[in-house]
């Protein structure tokens, strides 16, 4: 297929995903019995007396989405806001913008997710390749069933077990949070160590549960690749084992893995939201939980939309890695 | 509950077609050939048996607060201990297992039913309808289930119970089966025996139900198990976020209460371990069952094991 066509198709897909997600956010609360957003703001106004100036929020909301406006113009106003990255204000914490909340939490989530996904992908792929490679130590084959079974367990159940063992019983690592209560963020080695110490358990629970996925699929691909004629040819040429493993085996077998990586990002993201929750890790998942507890609908919708967009973009990027690694796609697109 | 029993009953019908020789030898052969299916089936059967038999030893009311002294470790009277609100955890686990399975089975069956119907309609009609469905499924599959469920569940949270949670999850559970079964139907339509049936003038319904369905059964089975497993996963995710049914003691809800009432600080290991162990058995069992059914549906995988 033509490379430009692939990119165009993926871009259209991205736009469709963002449109579906934002439309969903707009219509779900309006289809529900007795618009819950307005109920929540009413309740907030009635409690009154709090430090939060809800009246200003209600005013701003009515100007845009008031009952006197037809649904279509409400929808258009909403879409206009979305296109300008305006996700509105927090209901329970009024002057704070939803985008501010998201931007504060995002680095934590990205840091945890990026590191663990990359590690799991690399370790799992390598392990899967070695587990069927003729002449590799049998140890690698032996740990496949265990990893496979662990991949069936949701991340956060692992998290709970790890907390119990390492934080409650052994007390080696902190129970949760992103850093110690008394720590001040600074650019020091001690602080970096503290951050690392707090992310070991959440990271480990994602890692333990997701390595198996990569191992399993790589195993299948590597087994197929090993049976190919060009592998026999490479052996006949007298190429070194290392060269045959890396350049001939791994290089070919890794391509479907990258497609799988794009497809599984959503699963990893959902899983890590819950892991953050379990560990009280100060990322997006924790903010989502807090928003749900407070029925802070704008924050819920903002976070959901931001995550769906981020995910769609990440999938696009990963999908575009494939043509870069696969000379066949590049070659064909040049010919076309 | 009856639905969960039917899921278990439907499963063993499948390997019978692979190992037609009946009797103990046939079963042993199937077991040797497909250990993951057998182990998975055993785990799920044990879990259901535990929950069904356990009902005779635990009252429904014991699964609610103030039915027992709070925070008791397991002993002779409370064999699974009690939680900080005074629920008898044995009753909670027994009924919770069934309720969690109920959510999974409602969503799984609805999702598979809707997905299969759409798959047949799209694959048979072809043309623009097929294209629209393919693109819709592609776009919807890009959006993580949990996030959409959060949006929907957060607005109807106050009036939610395990049945409605099952139905909400089913709203998204049809995507994967629709895609998988559509491609399978497209392959089957080209099979010689289907073409023969068409030439013989058989009606579409006859071809679908008598010619294609028998061959799709292991495939549908695998899709059903995956759908159930993902529905349970989604449900415990919703429950962990505080969007579950607060008046029904499911396993996910138990974990939510345990986390929010700081069982870790209190060192109440029994409250922590019990729902997790049951859920792990459930997920691993369903996973092995899927792997086994995949092997039956796709003989190429069988060779790889050897």
More confident residue, B13 or A262: A262
Query: According to the model, what pLDDT value does residue B192 have?
Result: 86
Regions in chain B scoring below 50 on pLDDT: 1-21, 303-306
Tell me if B241 is assigned to some domain.
yes
Measured N-to-C along each axis, helices B269-297 and B251-260 cross at an angle, to the nearest 10 degrees, of 140
- Choose from A29, A152, A274 for mutation: most chain B CBs within 10 A: A152
Centroid of chain to Cα A275: 12
Percent of chain A, pLDDT > 70?
Answer: 88
Tell me if B208 is assigned to some domain.
no
Question: What residues have CB less than 8 Å from A107, skipping those under 6 apart?
Answer: none
Residue B206 C-alpha, separation from nearest chain A C-alpha, in angstroms: 36
**Interface check A29 vs B, CB under 8 A:** yes
pLDDT band for position A163 (cuts 50, 70, 90): confident
> Is A223 in Cβ contact with B284 (below 8 Å)?
no
- Which residue from A155, A128, A192 is spatially nearest to A277, judged by alpha carbons? A155
Query: According to the model, what pLDDT value does residue A213 have?
Result: 86
- Which residue from A288, A85, A41, A283 is spatially nearest to B153, judged by alpha carbons? A288
Tell me if B122 is assigned to some domain.
yes
Question: Domain containing B229: what range?
Answer: 31-59+84-182+218-301
A13 closest CB neighbour out of B139, B240, B269: B139
Contacts of A312 in chain B (CB under 8 A): 142
Measured N-to-C along each axis, helices B89-125 and B127-142 cross at an angle, to the nearest 10 degrees, of 150
> Is B144 in Cβ contact with A267 (below 8 Å)?
yes
Output the pTM of the full model.
0.84
Nearest C-alpha in A relative to B156: A32
Q: Are A30 and B157 in contact (CB under 8 A)?
A: no
Q: How far is CA B254 from CA A27, A207, A249, A277, in A?
A: 32, 25, 47, 15
> Is B241 in Cβ contact with A277 (below 8 Å)?
yes
Query: According to the model, what pLDDT value does residue A335 have?
Result: 54
pLDDT band for position A48 (cuts 50, 70, 90): low
Query: According to the model, what pLDDT value does residue B118 have?
Result: 92
CA-CA distance, A121 to A202, in Å (whole number)? Answer: 17
Q: Please state, rounded to an integer, the average pLDDT across all residues of chain A.
A: 81
Q: Are B184 and B221 in contact (CB under 8 A)?
A: no
Residue A187 C-alpha, separation from nearest chain B C-alpha, in angstroms: 31
CA-CA distance, B205 to B222, in Å (whole number)? Answer: 23
What mean pLDDT comes out for the span A323-334? Answer: 70
Contacts of A155 in chain B (CB under 8 A): none
Per residue in A57-80, pLDDT tens? Answer: 777 777 766 666 777 888 888 888
**B269: how many CB neighbours lie within 10 A of its CB?**
16
Tell me if B277 is assigned to some domain.
yes
- Residue A330 above 70 pLDDT? no
Tell me if B112 is assigned to some domain.
yes
Question: What residues have CB less than 8 Å from B299, skipping those under 6 apart?
Answer: none
A24 closest CB neighbour out of B144, B148, B269: B148
Query: According to the model, what pLDDT value does residue A182 have?
Result: 61
B151 closest CB neighbour out of A25, A157, A315: A25
CB pairs < 8 Å spanning A and B: 118
**B124: how many CB neighbours lie within 10 A of its CB?**
16
- Choose from B44, B138, B139, B272 for mutation: most chain A CBs within 10 A: B139
**A103: how many CB neighbours lie within 10 A of its CB?**
11
Centroid of chain to Cα B288: 12
| Structure token digits, residue B192 | 């010689």
CA-CA distance, A194 to A33, in Å (whole number)? Answer: 47
Query: According to the model, what pLDDT value does residue B7 have?
Result: 39
Give the ranges where chain B is alpha helix by DSSP (H): 2-10, 13-18, 23-33, 35-54, 89-125, 127-142, 145-155, 162-173, 175-189, 192-199, 204-206, 213-240, 251-260, 263-266, 269-297, 299-305
Measured N-to-C along each axis, helices B89-125 and B213-240 cross at an angle, to the nearest 10 degrees, of 130
Tell me if B240 is assigned to some domain.
yes
Tell me if B175 is assigned to some domain.
yes
- Which residue from B290, B280, B213, B153 is spatially nearest to B17, judged by alpha carbons? B213
> Is A266 in Cβ contact with B143 (below 8 Å)?
yes
> Is A153 in Cβ contact with B284 (below 8 Å)?
yes
Centroid of chain to Cα B171: 15
Per residue in A91-132, pLDDT tens? Answer: 777 777 888 888 888 888 888 888 898 999 999 998 888 888
- Which residue from A49, A25, A50, A47 is spatially nearest to A36, judged by alpha carbons? A25
Contacts of A29 in chain B (CB under 8 A): 155
pLDDT band for position A174 (cuts 50, 70, 90): confident
Per residue in A215-261, pLDDT tens? Answer: 888 888 888 888 888 888 888 888 888 888 888 888 888 888 888 88
Query: According to the model, what pLDDT value does residue B304 have?
Result: 46
Contacts of B304 in chain A (CB under 8 A): 220, 223
| Structure token digits, residue B26 | 């046939």
Query: According to the model, what pLDDT value does residue B170 have?
Result: 92
Q: Are A277 and A285 in contact (CB under 8 A)?
A: yes
| Structure token digits, residue A141 | 């084959």
Query: According to the model, what pLDDT value does residue B306 have?
Result: 36
pLDDT band for position A162 (cuts 50, 70, 90): confident
Tell me if B9 is assigned to some domain.
no
A168 closest CB neighbour out of B264, B283, B287: B264
The domain total for chain B is 1
């Amino acid at each position: 297929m033509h490379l430009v066509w692939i990119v165009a198709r993926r871009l259209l897909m991205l736009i469709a995903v963002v449109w579906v997600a934002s439309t969903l956010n707009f219509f779900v609360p309006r289809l529900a019995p007795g618009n819950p957003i307005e109920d929540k703001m009413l309740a907030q106004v009635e409690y009154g007396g709090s430090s939060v100036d809800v009246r200003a929020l209600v005013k701003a909301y009515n100007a845009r989405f008031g009952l006197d406006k037809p649904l279509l113009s409400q929808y258009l106003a909403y879409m206009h806001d979305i296109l300008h990255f305006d996700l509105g204000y927090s209901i329970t914490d009024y002057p704070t913008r939803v985008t501010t909340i998201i931007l504060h939490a995002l680095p934590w989530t990205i840091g945890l997710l990026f590191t663990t996904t990359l590690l799991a992908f690399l370790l799992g792929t390598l392990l899967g390749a070695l587990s069927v490679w003729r002449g590799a130590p049998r140890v690698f084959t032996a740990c496949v069933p265990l990893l496979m079974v662990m991949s069936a367990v949701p991340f956060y159940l692992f998290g709970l077990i790890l907390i119990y063992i390492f934080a409650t019983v052994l007390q080696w690592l902190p129970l949760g949070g992103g850093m110690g209560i008394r720590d001040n963020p600074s650019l020091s080695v001690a602080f970096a160590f503290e951050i690392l110490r707090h992310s070991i358990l959440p990271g480990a629970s994602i890692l333990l549960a997701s390595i198996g996925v990569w191992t399993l699929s790589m195993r299948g691909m590597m087994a197929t690749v090993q049976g190919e004629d060009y592998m026999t040819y490479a052996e006949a040429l007298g190429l070194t084992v290392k060269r045959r493993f890396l350049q001939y085996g791994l290089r070919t077998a890794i391509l479907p893995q990258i497609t799988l990586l794009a497809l599984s990002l959503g699963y990893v993201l959902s899983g890590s939201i819950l892991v953050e929750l379990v560990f009280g890790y100060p990322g997006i998942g924790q903010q989502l939980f807090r928003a749900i507890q407070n029925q802070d609908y704008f924050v819920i919708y903002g976070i959901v939309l931001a995550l769906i967009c981020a995910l769609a973009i990440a999938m696009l990027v990963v999908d575009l890695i494939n043509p870069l690694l696969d000379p066949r796609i590049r070659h064909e697109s040049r010919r076309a | 509950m009856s639905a969960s029993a039917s899921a278990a009953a439907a499963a063993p019908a499948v390997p019978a077609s692979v190992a037609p020789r009946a009797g103990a030898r046939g079963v042993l052969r199937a077991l040797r050939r497909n250990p993951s299916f057998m182990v998975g089936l055993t785990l799920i059967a044990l879990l259901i048996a535990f929950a069904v038999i356990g009902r005779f030893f635990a009252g429904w009311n014991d699964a609610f607060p103030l039915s027992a002294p709070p925070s008791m470790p397991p002993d002779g009277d409370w064999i699974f201990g009690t939680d900080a609100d005074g629920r008898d955890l044995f009753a909670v686990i027994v009924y919770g297992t069934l309720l969690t399975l109920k959510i999974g089975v409602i969503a799984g069956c609805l999702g598979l039913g809707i997905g299969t119907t759409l798959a047949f309609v799209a694959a048979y009609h072809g043309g623009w309808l097929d294209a629209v469905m393919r693109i819709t499924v592609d776009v919807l599959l890009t959006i993580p289930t949990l996030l959409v469920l959060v949006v929907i569940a957060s607005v109807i949270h106050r009036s939610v119970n395990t049945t409605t949670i099952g139905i909400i999850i089913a709203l998204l559970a049809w995507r994967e089966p629709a895609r998988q079964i559509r491609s399978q139907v497209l392959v089957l339509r080209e099979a010689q025996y289907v073409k023969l049936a068409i030439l013989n003038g058989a009606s579409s319904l006859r071809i679908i139900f008598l010619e294609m369905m028998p061959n799709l059964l292991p495939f549908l089975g695998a899709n059903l198990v995956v759908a159930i497993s993902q529905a349970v996963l989604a449900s415990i995710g919703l429950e962990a976020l505080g969007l579950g049914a607060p008046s029904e003691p499911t396993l996910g809800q138990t974990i939510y209460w345990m986390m929010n009432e700081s069982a870790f600080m209190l060192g109440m290991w029994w409250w922590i371990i019990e729902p997790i162990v049951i859920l792990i058995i459930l997920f691993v069992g369903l996973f092995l069952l899927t792997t086994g059914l995949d092997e039956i549906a796709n003989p190429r995988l069988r060779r790889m094991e050897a």
